[in-house]
Structure 1
């Protein structure tokens, strides 16, 4: 522990250098943070007498990373409101069901074709189904897309995924760890998760006048303490009832977005979001062991291809069900393609159950590839849209022009 402060300081310097490099190359910062974390993590090789690995500080950095996820999702919630999300309730349920059904089915089929046993199939399907809340939040904020019409659907799918995750982890834990599972227990987990989300949204909306009075605090210090205290308690409590703490943070943000103090909260939370958010992606890199990735290359690449196809199709169908334009629908599929913290949780569950050892390196490489591709594809979504729809739009425009010409000719003749 003697060098803990030095390690944290070096970590911040490395993160800053990675960020500056990404700006210079005009590329998403997320992959740079992850890669630099891998390069100096506990699993990285030791270079002779020099040891650049972050070992002593890894647990503290990991905790700071967890705070980063909370701030990222909390800030994203502030950009919206409970009212906006409730209005899109039906389309979110439909879109979320489409997204989960397509990606989960493709994950199962992929694992079956790869010759995996039944339990491994279930773990792989879980790994390939759930998006990364942290990466999605970071990308939406960085690309200034929080006001886009499709972002409500993206947020809704993230929350829908969490209800699915609560149910699925209950089932998978029973099958993998104990060999059995209770239908009543699974149903209870789902109801608790869904009930908690609805309760926070409904009660929070009713409590807005009270919150306006409570948050009428002049001192910035006390104001932040009250906000942080509420955020940590709600997020921490949500984790105890099997709702991801990140979703708890998102819910708090959605509620506070309805208050008169939203702009002040947003302004004051911004530095914490950026600092701790960067620490999350760095800490994520620290957990990846580069030496184990080689044996899972082909399996990971195959899963990446399946995920890209599944997300694109699911995004198009979800967007269409909500009456969104094809361009907005493409944005949905590409924005939520990133995989991250939840995929690693699934892989760790497989390890705890004594399943095939390839699951962890597969998950790490799969997540790393999509953490790089996801932000890049989201940034270039306009080009992707044009690639698939330019010809169709040009043909339609040509057809409309020809129809207009015929109509003019008919009027002249008449």
Structure 2
């Protein structure tokens, strides 16, 4: 394959330039990389030795993207821990449950409304239910809201959402990848997926002493080789057992989250997560034919509008239940609005199982719009709250006034 390294290098250089542009504009890199991927590809020109069609290098770029998914989920597993969930307050559990349930039900209703088959409808519901941890974290930091009264609840809801993602992907892996055709076979596939997941939860709770000894490696070089080799092996083994490889990565991260080496692993993983994660978004965009976006446009716009409504409602219910002001509750719904990496991972699961090709352009448009609109809505939360307050006539309590002054 002539000039393969040059093709891959060109792709990575474009990814770097798009990331720099996003950084200059202080926006998430996700929409930039998706658009970049869609702008190049098979329909792009070949200029001298620079081949922007990336036909020869597409399998390599796609594989690097798959590695990116593994690192993204592995990192989330490290961040999440069983003990954190057990220590979470009632407000976080309630808020997370409301957020997931409301968005999932809206997704189910919408999927049936647009006449999608059952499995496609379930995938749509899953896509509408998972926020972007990376974008939400960036919004909180960029808007200097890490000290706000609602921030702890937001982070708790995101943690709960991550747990839902793990359970959802495990169940859907059993349904879609298990190859079962009868009802009994479907239940068996789901049971295998859930059992596999339960094993890692047990390891996370009971296995840290043994894992601490195994990972007690002084050399960072050897340490990272051992961890990353296990990550790829377990992810591949998961796929062999008809559990999504991304879930295998998340569960492995979960198993290591309770060890004394978790922070060390996080520090080593972050550069790989960011690099390969960026390639993943570019690779996903590269696989999309822009001419097919039109057929998914109206479905994606409808899903965006429903997501905005559902998130504001969920944020208001969760915030008020936790005793927060109407303003803080509005902030919750607007902050968790963005969709990104996990929505695309859910869509990819459906596509890998041979579901409707329409899922690809739909997910691209849906993520693209909300990755841009979500942070903008969060930034403009004050005027949005004022507009809602005029409609619903919420009273201003002391907390509301203080929050407004601090935002």
Structure 1 position 348, deviation (Å): 6.3
1:158 and 2:154 correspond: no
Cα displacement (A) at 1:254:
3.1
Structure 2, unpaired ranges of 5+? 402-407
Q: Provide the rounded CA distance (Å) in 2 between the counterparts of 1:379 and 1:238.
A: 40
Distance of aligned partners of 1:222 and 1:165 in 2 relative to their CA distance in 1, 3 Å threshold: closer
Q: Does 1:282 align with 2:282?
A: yes
Provide the residue aligned with 2:233 in structure 1: 233
- Please give the per-residue CA displacement for 1:92-147, whole angstroms capped at 9, x wherever unaligned: 87666644543343234334544x3x62x6524522433597x7243255457799
Return the offset for 1:347.
Answer: 5.3
SS at match of 1:281: helix
2-structure distance, mates of 1:359, 1:251: 26
- Pairing 1:74–2:70 present: no
What is the aligned counterpart of 1:343 among 344, 347, 359? 347
Pairing 1:200-349 to 2, within 5 Å after superposition: 200-317=200-317, 327=328, 330-331=331-332, 334-335=335-336, 337-338=338-339, 339-346=343-350, 349=353
Higher mean Cα deviation, 239-248 or 218-227?
Answer: 239-248
Q: How does 1:139-154 map to 2 (within 5 A)?
A: 139-140=135-136, 142-143=138-139, 148-154=152-158
Partner of 2:124: 127
- Distance between the aligned counterparts of 2:245 and 2:322, measured in 1? 28
TM-score normalised to structure 1 length: 0.77
Residue 11 of structure 1 corresponds to which residue in structure 2? 11
TM-score, normalised by the number of residues in structure 2 = 0.78
Q: CA deviation at 1:67?
A: 1.4
Q: CA RMSD in A?
A: 3.9
Q: Which residue in the other structure is 1:136 paired with? A: 132
**How far 1:194 sits from its partner (Å)?**
2.7
Q: Which residue of 1 aligns with 2:398?
A: 397
How has the CA–CA distance of structure 1 residues 125 and 250 changed in structure 2, closer, same or farther, with 3 Å as cutoff?
A: closer
Task: State the alpha-carbon separation in 2 of the partners of residues 22 and 203 from structure 1.
Answer: 40
What are the superposed Cα offsets for residues 73-106 of structure 1, whole Å, 9 maximum, x if unpaired?
Answer: 3223333433112334988876666445433432
User: What is the distance in 1 between the residues matched to 2:254 and 2:119?
Assistant: 33
Judge conservation of contact 1:201–1:255 (CA < 8 Å) in 2.
Answer: yes
Count of residues in Structure 1 that have an aligned counterpart in Structure 2: 387
| Residue in 1 that maps onto 2:20 | 20
Tell me by how many angstroms 1:276 deviates. 0.9
Please say which of residues 142-151 and 234-243 is displaced more in the overlay.
142-151
Shift of 1:12: 1.4
Say whether the 8 Å CA contact 1:93–1:160 is kept in structure 2: no
| Structure 1 Cα separation of the partners of residues 176 and 72 of structure 2 | 28
Report the alpha carbon displacement of residue 297 of structure 1 after superposing the two structures with TM. Answer: 2.0
Specify every segment of 5 or more residues in structure 1 that has no aligned partner in the other structure, as ranges. 401-414
In structure 2, relative to structure 1, the CA distance for the partners of 1:392 and 1:218 (3 Å cut) is farther
Of the structure 1 ranges 81-90 and 287-296, higher mean CA displacement relative to structure 2 is found in 81-90
The 8 Å contact of residues 166 and 243 in structure 1, kept in 2 or not, is answered as: yes
Q: 1:259 to 1:53 in 2, by over 3 A?
A: same
Q: Is the 8 A contact 2:45 2:53 kept in 1?
A: yes
For 2:379 and 2:283, the matched residues in 1 are separated by 24
Q: Distance in 2 between matches of 1:342 and 1:301?
A: 19
C-alpha distance 241-142 of structure 1, shift in aligned 2 (>3 A): farther
Distance 2:127 2:325 in 1: 24
CA distance in 2, matches of 1:399, 1:25: 31
Residues 127 and 346, structure 1, Cα contact 8 Å, conserved in 2: no
Shift of 1:359: 5.2
Distance 1:396 1:256 in 2: 44
